[in-house]
Amino acid sequence: MSDAIYPSLRDRAVLITGGASGIGASLVEHFVRQGARVAFLDRAAEAGEALVSRLAEDGPRPLFFPCDLRDIAALREAVGRAHTGLGDISVLVNNAAHDERHAWEDVTVEYWDDRIAVNLRHQFFAIQAVAPMMRRLGGGSIVNFGSTSWHIGQGGMPGYTSSKAAIEGLTRSFARDLGPDRIRVNCVLPGWIMTERQMSLWLTPEADAERARAQCLKERIYPADVARLALWLAADDSRMCTNETWTVDGGWT
C-alpha cells in the first residue's frame, strides 16, 4: 500500500514520545518519509539509536533523545533539546505508554502512581511545554494516543485503562483551551495493533480468532495503519478537525 503525501508536513517540526518501537517507531518512520523534521523521545536508548540509523536515508535524519518520561524535569529538558535542534515544534504526538498487566488486588499506591506517570501524566506536561511554541507559530496539531481497551471493557490492567480513559478528557479540555490559538487537539484510539510485543506476548490462535470475531473488518491491524491516521491529523488537510476521538480498530468498538 502506498502512502498519501501531505505537502504541509514537509519541513514541519514534529515531536513524538515513545518513538523507539511499536506504533511509535512507525510514527517516526512515516513522518520522516513525509519530509518532516522529527525528534523522538524514549527510554530505550539502543532501540532509538537503531531506528535513527535505519531511517538515515529515508528523509531528514531524525533526532533521538533518551528520556524516561516519568521524570518531568527530564522530559522538559528533552523538549528543550528538540527545540534547539528543530526550532518551534508544530506537531506533538503523545504516543508513549505501557500496557503492563496487573491484578487490582496487588496494586500499591506506589505502583498506581507509576502507572499514571507512565501512561498519562507526561502527556499533559509535554503539551504544556510545546503549546507556547505552537502559539508563536500561529497554530499546531497535538495528537494524543488513548486506547479502545477501556471502551471494550478490558480488565486486568486498571492503571492503564484508567489512564487511557483520562486522555480523552485531557484532549477535550486542551482542544477548548488552545483552539483560540489555532492549535488542534485530537485523540487516536488504537485497537489491537500487531506490534512485535503484542504478537510475542498475547497473539495466540484463540485470541486471534476472538479478534477476528469482534472486528467488522477481519484483517489484522498494524502500526502503519495508525501512523497514516496521525499523518492526516498532523497535516493541514485536517485543519478544522479538533476535539475528536479517531478509532483504528477494524470496527471492534
pLDDT in tens, the chain (253 residues): 678 999 999 999 999 999 999 999 999 999 999 999 999 999 999 999 999 999 988 889 999 999 999 999 999 999 999 999 999 999 999 999 999 999 999 999 999 999 999 999 999 999 999 999 999 999 999 999 999 999 999 999 999 999 999 999 999 999 999 999 999 999 999 998 988 887 778 789 999 999 999 999 999 999 999 999 999 999 999 999 999 999 999 999 9
| 126 falls within a domain | yes
pLDDT for 197 equals: 85
The per-residue pLDDT for 10 is 98
In this structure, is residue 209 part of a structural domain?
no
Cα separation, 170 vs 123, in Å, equals 9
Number of domains in the chain: 1
Report if residue 253 sits inside a domain.
Answer: no
Q: Distance between CA 92 and CA 142 in Å, rounded?
A: 5
| Rounded CA separation 234/242 (Å) | 11
pLDDT of residue 196: 83
Looking at residue 126, which CATH number applies to its domain? 3.40.50.720
Domain annotation covers residue 109: yes
- DSSP code at position 2: P
Task: Give the pLDDT score at 1.
Answer: 66
d(CA 55, CA 37): 12
Spatial CB neighbours of 9, under 8 Å, sequence gap ≥ 6:
31, 34, 35, 36, 91, 231, 234, 235
d(CA 183, CA 239): 9
Q: By residue range, what is the domain housing residue 48?
A: 8-194+223-247
Vertex 19: Cα angle to 240 and 111 (nearest 5): 100
pLDDT of residue 198: 75
Q: Round to the nearest angstrom and report the end-to-end CA distance of the chain.
A: 25
For residue 121, give the DSSP letter.
I
For residue 21, what is its C-alpha cell? 518501537
For residue 44, give the amino acid letter: A
* Inter-residue contact 179 to 237 (CB < 8 Å): no
Instruction: Specify if 206 maps to a domain.
Output: no
Dihedral of alpha carbons 168, 186, 129, 66, sign: positive
Helix H or strand E encompassing 208: helix 205-214
Active site residues: 160
